Amino acid sequence: MDEQLSFGGGYDHNYVLNKSNRNVKEVSFAAKVCHPKSGRMMEVYTDEPGIQFYSGNSLNGTVVGKNGIPYQSRYAFLPRVPTFSGYSQPFTFYNLIGK
């Protein structure tokens, strides 16, 4: 398993969307998820500058879902659109190397 996935027990990643004008709050396409076997599909649209992908890392079987099935770790996912504080300000990206 990828080192970052090991630390968090799954996905909990934020992505900055490639928006042409971050100062304009306009709803636009952010993500698409497909499950070919069932034919299910979900599209996410947002006026926020980013999206977070969370894979249910803290689920532990205490929440029971459809047909009485307990939700275990990574049995679900959530494409969240968090508000980035100060996002109307220009983003500054730094080249960081973690060791």
Judge whether 70 lies within some domain: yes
Work out the number of other CB atoms within 10 angstroms of the CB of residue 30. 19
Judge whether 58 lies within some domain: yes
Number of domains in the chain: 1
Judge whether 87 lies within some domain: no
Name which of 79, 95, 96, 91 is nearest 16 in CA terms: 91
Q: Rounded to whole angstroms, how far apart are CA atoms 52 and 16?
A: 9
Instruction: Give the model confidence (pLDDT) of 66-87 as tens digits.
Output: 899 999 988 888 777 766 655 5
Judge whether 22 lies within some domain: yes
Judge whether 13 lies within some domain: yes
Structure tokens at 98: 């973690």
pTM score: 0.66
Judge whether 7 lies within some domain: yes
Give the domain range for residue 76: 3-80
In this prediction, residue 11 carries a pLDDT of: 84
